[in-house]
A and B are shown apart, each in its own frame.
Chain A
Amino acid sequence: EVQLVESGGGSVKPGGSLRLSCAVSGITFIDVWMNWVRQAPGKGLEWVGQIKTKTEGERTDYGAPVKGRFTISRDDSENTVYLQMNSLKTEDTAVYFCVTNGYFDYWGQGSLVTVSS
């Protein structure tokens, strides 16, 4: 059974930083692209970014709202992907999901990040 478990969410003030983790099991982690997708309260889904595999140079791509502030990384030895969020803004408040592949086939349960003064 494929499982994705996010952790690290919480409350932070504007301008602050937070790091989310996503532990993956049940699939060959080194072979999968990993995405982060967010959903603001009562709103739709928004793609945050993606990291490709080690053999593809662990290339990262990001959505325009987070480019330059968020960084995705992966640790294949721990089957874990990370989302480092810096210079957080109130509009970054959302549930953050980690998701496998470009098909968005497996999803974590989500981790709530609240940015508020």
Chain B
Amino acid sequence: QSALTQPASVSGSPGQSITISCTGTSSDIGSYNHVSWLQQHPGKAPKLLSYDVTKRPSGASHRFSGSKSGNTASLTISGLQAEDEADYYCTSYTTSSTFVFGTGTKVTVL
């Protein structure tokens, strides 16, 4: 199972919106609405931002929103803030009853 493909880096200015893509196949993202997005600051454990494509866990900021079309999932960050500078990972369930993570995207706030 190959890792899901994410852009290595995305940047934006404070207040802007940015979108991170996560491309998989018909064996993972394309087969299930079971995509999660995670945020990881340096030296910290990852934190769940969204799950089941569009749902947000309790306490998660509404500035983070997930979507999916075909084999590609996306995370949009609205009103970019300095604290959003971090690494972001997508993950999906697969038809092999396993999970696969994305390659990771470094978000830089200019």
Contacts and interface: CB of A to CB of B under 8 A. Distances in A.
Nearest to A35: B99
Interface in A66-117: 97, 102-105, 107-110
Interface residues of A, number: 20
Interface string B49-92: 00110000100000000000000000000000000000101010
A45 B97 contact: no
Nearest to B105: A44
A47 B98 contact: yes
Interface centre among A44, A62, A105 (most CB of B within 10 A): A44
Nearest to B48: A105
A45 B51 contact: no
A50 interface: yes
Given A102-B93, A104-B36, A107-B46, A63 B102 contact: no
A64 B51 CA distance: 24
Contacts, number: 55
A31 interface: no
B101 A47 contact: yes
A46 interface: yes
B100 interface: yes
Nearest to A49: B98
Interface of B: 1, 3, 34, 36, 38, 40, 45-48, 51-52, 57, 87, 89, 91, 93, 96-104
17 contacts: A44-B101, A45-B46, A45-B91, A46-B101, A47-B91, A47-B101, A50-B99, A61-B97, A97-B45, A97-B46, A102-B99, A103-B57, A104-B38, A104-B51, A107-B45, A109-B45, A110-B45
